[in-house]
Amino acid sequence: MTADTGLGLGPWTQRPLTDIAQHAEPFWEGLTRHEFLIPRCRLCGSWFWPVTICPHHDAIPDLDDTQWAVASGRGRVFAFVVVHYVMDPAFAGEVPYVLAHIELDEGPLFQGRLVGCVPSDVEIGRAVHIHFLDVPQTGVTYPVFTLAVDEG
Amino acid sequence: MNRKELKDRYAIVGAAATPTARSHAPDKSNLMLEAWAAKLAIEDAGLRRSDINGAVHTMMASPHPPMEGTDTYSRMLGLRPNFYMTVARGGQTAHNGILLATQMLSLGLADYVLVSCAITGWSSSHVHRRTDGEIGLKVWPKPDYGLAATGWAAAAGAGSIHGMLASRHMHEYGTTHEQLGAVAIAARQWAALNPAARLTDRPLSMEQYLASPFVTEPLRTADCCVTSDLGAALVITTADRARDLAQTAVYIKGIGVGDQARSQWWDKTNYTRFDGGHAKQSAFREAEVSNDDIDVLELYDCFTTETLIHLEDYGFCAKGEGGAFVESGAIAPGGSLPVNTHGGQLAYGYLFDFPGVLEAVHQLRGSCGGRQVHNARLALTNGHGGEMLLPQMCSSHATMVLGSEVG
Question: For residue B175, what pLDDT is reported?
Answer: 98
**pLDDT > 60? residue A149:** yes
Task: Give the gap in angstroms from C-alpha A149 to the nearest C-alpha of chain B.
Answer: 23
Mean pLDDT of all residues in chain A? 93
Task: Give the gap in angstroms from C-alpha B23 to the nearest C-alpha of chain A.
Answer: 23
Specify the higher pLDDT residue, A115 or B264: A115
Which chain A residues touch B389 with a CB distance below 8 Å?
101, 111
Give the angle subtended at the CA of A20 by the CAs of A18 and A25, to the nearest 5°: 125
Specify the higher pLDDT residue, B168 or B146: B168
Q: Where are the domains of chain B?
A: 10-128+229-242, 153-225+253-403
Q: What CA–CA distance (Å, rounded) separates B182 from B188?
A: 10
A68 interface with B at CB cutoff 8 Å = no
User: pLDDT-based confidence at B67, cuts 50/70/90?
Assistant: low
> Would you call B208 exposed, middle or buried from its count of C-beta atoms within 10 A (0-12, 13-18, 19+)?
middle
Question: For residue B56, what pLDDT is reported?
Answer: 95
**Is A124 within 8 Å of A78 (Cβ atoms)?**
yes
Q: What CA–CA distance (Å, rounded) separates B395 from B389?
A: 9
Q: What values do phi and psi take at A127, rounded to 5?
A: -75, 140
- Judged by CB atoms closer than 8 Å, whether chains meet at A124 and B156 is answered as no
**pLDDT > 60? residue B141:** no
Which chain A residues touch B222 with a CB distance below 8 Å?
none
Specify the higher pLDDT residue, B261 or A81: A81
Which chain A residues touch B219 with a CB distance below 8 Å?
81
Q: What is the pLDDT of residues B89-123, one digit of tens each?
A: 878 999 999 999 999 999 999 999 999 999 888 88
User: pLDDT-based confidence at B221, cuts 50/70/90?
Assistant: very high
CB count in 10 Å sphere of residue B262: 10
The proportion of chain A whose per-residue pLDDT surpasses 90, expressed as a percent, equals 86
Q: Which CATH class is domain B153-225+253-403?
A: alpha beta
Topology agreement, domain B10-128+229-242 and domain B153-225+253-403: yes
Which chain B residues touch A108 with a CB distance below 8 Å?
266
CA dihedral B84, B87, B91, B96 (to 10 degrees): -90
State pTM to two decimals: 0.95
**pLDDT > 70? residue B133:** no
**pLDDT > 90? residue B124:** no
Specify the higher pLDDT residue, A81 or B161: A81
Q: Using the 8-state DSSP alphabet, how is residue B226 labeled?
A: P
What is the DSSP track for A53-101?
--SSSSSPPPGGGEEEEE---EEEEEEEEEE--BSSGGGGGG-SEEEEE
The proportion of chain B whose per-residue pLDDT surpasses 90, expressed as a percent, equals 73
Q: Which of A52, A86, A108 sits opposite B154 (nearest CB)?
A: A86
Where in B30-183 does DSSP place strands (E)? 54-59, 84-88, 112-120
User: pLDDT-based confidence at B158, cuts 50/70/90?
Assistant: confident
User: pLDDT-based confidence at A5, cuts 50/70/90?
Assistant: low
Q: What is the pLDDT of residues B333-377, one digit of tens each?
A: 999 999 999 999 999 999 999 999 999 999 999 999 999 999 999
Please provide the distance, in angstroms rounded to a whole number, between the alpha carbons at the two ends of chain A: 39
Q: What is the pLDDT of residues A109-140, one digit of tens each?
A: 999 999 999 999 999 999 999 999 999 999 99
Task: Give the gap in angstroms from C-alpha A91 to the nearest C-alpha of chain B.
Answer: 7
Question: For residue B159, what pLDDT is reported?
Answer: 82
Q: Which CATH class is domain B10-128+229-242?
A: alpha beta
What is the mean predicted confidence (pLDDT) over B210-235?
Answer: 95
CB count in 10 Å sphere of residue A57: 13
Question: For residue B123, what pLDDT is reported?
Answer: 82
What is the mean predicted confidence (pLDDT) over B292-303?
Answer: 97
- Judged by CB atoms closer than 8 Å, whether chains meet at B266 and A22 is answered as no
Q: What is the Cα gyration radius of chain B?
A: 20
